[in-house]
Structure 1
């Protein structure tokens, strides 16, 4: 499970993200229809960037590897205004 902790001033938020949600997100990102929609939205903005097409078979080993490395801290940031963000497996 991916654990996202956010601390803003006096409030703390904890957002658990199960691996099933990550797999569902990977299905959405690798969809050809979603890729077309994203690229059309980028073209309307006037940018020359093109969102690359990602194959599901390329993303699957990454998600499997993430589940084996529990406890690993992916992101830990602290800003000058006291905001803290931590993303942990």
Structure 2
């Protein structure tokens, strides 16, 4: 399970993200229909022509499998000048 910790001033939020949700979101984000809509939106609003390449879902499955084996790994830890801190840990 991935844990996202957000600390804003005196409040802390911990958001647990199960691996099943990650698998589901990768399935949605790699679908051709979503990529077509995203690329159309980029063409309309962006000044530079940029398209997101299509990514195969089967290419990302080994990545998620490896991430699930390294529990406790710190992926991101950052803090802003206003005191906001964000960390993402497996």
TM-score range, shorter chain: over 0.9
**Aligned pairs, number:** 89
Which residue of structure 2 lines up, in the alignment, with residue 3 of structure 1?
A: 3
Match of 2:45 in 1: 45
Q: State the TM-score, normalizing by the size of structure 1.
A: 0.96
1:58 to partner: Cα distance: 0.6
Cα-to-partner distance string for 1:33-86 (whole Å, 9 max, x where unaligned): 001010011111133110110001110000101100000000001222111100
In structure 2, the partner of 1:35 is 35
- The equivalent residue for 2:84 is 83
Report the Cα distance in structure 1 between the residues aligned to 2:44 and 2:55, rounded to whole angstroms: 22
CA RMSD of aligned residues (A): 0.8
Matched, 1:69 2:66: no
Runs of 4+ off more than 6 Å: none
Unmatched tracts of structure 2, length 5 or more? none
TM-score normalised according to structure 2 size: 0.95
The corresponding residue for 2:19 is 19
